[in-house]
């Protein structure tokens, strides 16, 4: 799946998309076969044996501090269309909503993997099965995509930490990864682009503090899921079903999109609190004004804990195609990040 034909030694081929402004660099060839019978095992194998490719593709001079990527693999389930791993500046995600939306567009448009039914594209991810749908316009082109996520739930309804002598109140929830959700208003944040650096700095500090003091344990998953992925600041929108979210994840990456797994976790919070009903559609805006929609479709249980199945929708666009080379004489083979 991720091994190109006639690929020159030391080179990797990609096609790049963006979803609501957030990049996705999809590896289409050049990587060795990733071993493992589960997606978490494949994730560990790449991290342990081929992480230099992640660093080369995500970091400068070929990438940047906020680059994001995906590696397609053979599915690990009998009925899966493809497996997928997600990459960022620090390592590997467990699920990625903006990535799934871009992969639906790319999968259909570029034929990156076999798709039996574009209305039910089955992705095997480290967090579990995600089922997506391509929505077509009158010309037969992919206009948008939606996906049914892994179960989302609240881990800690109220979790507070002290930062600079002040109390920071959070809610910890899972939407494919764990996030600390923080009301932006007590921190005098409007969640606009001019505040990007302050958002990054505060988001990183809150994430570090919460991770130090909160036991992050998925009630029905492998231990590779048991970590805090990021901080999400939120502001209420004009109506009850509107909101603004800004996510700081990995090593200070600032999501340009509303964050697909993040809006899943937030929708679970709202639904399980009784603030929205099943089927009601939330509209979540990003720091740059782009939007995802999200609905809670049904309630379920995860390890005996209340959870919901969410459906997230958005659109993506192709931005380029690349062939990256690993020059054996390059002194910066592993890349670098400058914020």
The tens digit of pLDDT for each residue in 283-339 reads 999 999 999 999 999 999 999 999 999 999 999 999 999 999 888 899 998 899 887
Q: Is the pLDDT of residue 8 over 70?
A: no
State the sign of the Cα–Cα–Cα–Cα dihedral 253, 258, 260, 262. Answer: positive
Q: Is the pLDDT assigned to residue 3 strictly greater than 50?
A: no
| Upstream peptide bond of 245 is cis (omega within 30 degrees of 0) | no
Confidence bin at 34 (pLDDT 50/70/90): very high
The pTM of the whole model exceeds 0.85: yes
The torsion angle over the Cα atoms of residues 269, 273, 277 and 279, rounded to 10 degrees, is 20
Note whether 11-148+318-325 and 153-315 share their fold.
yes
Task: Bin 110: left if φ > 0, else alpha if -120 < ψ < 50, else beta.
Answer: alpha
Position 4 confidence tier, pLDDT thresholds 50, 70, 90: very low
Element (H, E) at 302: strand 291-302
| Mean pLDDT of all residues in 100-110 | 97
248-259 mean pLDDT: 97
Domain 153-315 has CATH 3.10.310.10: yes
Is 96 considered catalytic here?
Answer: yes
pLDDT at 5: 40
Sequence-distant (≥ 6) Cβ neighbours of residue 13 within 8 angstroms: 4, 7, 27, 28, 29, 30, 321, 322, 323, 324
Domains of the chain by residue range: 11-148+318-325, 153-315
Q: Which range among 1-15, 36-50, 130-144, 145-159 shows the weakest confidence by mean pLDDT? A: 1-15
Give, in words, the CATH class of 11-148+318-325: alpha beta
Which distant-in-sequence residues (6+ apart) come within 8 Å of 9 by Cβ?
A: none
Catalytic entry in 96, 271, 294, 296: 96
Share of the chain above pLDDT 70, in %: 97
């Amino acid at each position: 799946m991720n091994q190109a034909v006639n690929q020159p030694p030391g080179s990797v081929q990609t096609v790049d998309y963006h979803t609501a402004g957030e990049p996705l660099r999809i590896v289409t060839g050049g990587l060795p076969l990733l071993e493992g019978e589960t997606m978490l095992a494949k994730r560990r194998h790449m991290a342990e044996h081929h992480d230099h490719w992640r660093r080369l593709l995500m970091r400068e001079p070929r990438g940047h501090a906020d680059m994001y990527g995906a590696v397609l693999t053979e599915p690990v389930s009998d009925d899966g269309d493809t497996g997928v791993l997600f990459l960022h500046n620090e390592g590997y995600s467990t699920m990625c909503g903006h990535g799934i939306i871009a992969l639906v567009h790319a999968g259909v448009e570029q034929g990156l993997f076999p798709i039996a039914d574009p209305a039910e594209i089955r992705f095997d991810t480290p967090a579990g099965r995600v089922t997506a749908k391509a929505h077509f316009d009158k010309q037969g082109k992919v206009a948008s995509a939606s996906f049914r996520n892994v179960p989302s739930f609240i881990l800690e309804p109220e979790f507070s930490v002290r930062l600079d002598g002040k109390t920071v109140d959070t809610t910890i929830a899972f939407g494919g990864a764990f996030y600390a959700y923080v009301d932006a208003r007590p921190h005098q944040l409007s969640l606009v682009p001019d505040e990007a650096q302050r958002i990054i700095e505060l988001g990183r500090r809150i994430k570090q503090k919460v991770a130090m003091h909160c036991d992050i344990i998925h009630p029905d998953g492998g231990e590779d899921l048991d970590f805090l992925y990021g901080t999400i600041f939120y502001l209420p929108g004009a109506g009850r079903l509107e909101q603004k979210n800004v996510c700081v994840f990995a090593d200070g990456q600032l999501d340009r999109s509303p964050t697909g797994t993040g809006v899943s976790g937030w929708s679970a919070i709202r639904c399980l609190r009784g603030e929205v009903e099943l089927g009601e559609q939330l509209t979540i805006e990003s720091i740059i004004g782009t939007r995802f929609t999200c609905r809670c479709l049904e309630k379920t249980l995860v390890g005996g804990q209340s959870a919901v199945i969410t459906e997230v929708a958005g659109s993506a666009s192709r931005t380029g195609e690349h062939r990256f080379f690993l020059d054996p004489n390059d002194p910066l083979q592993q890349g670098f990040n400058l914020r």
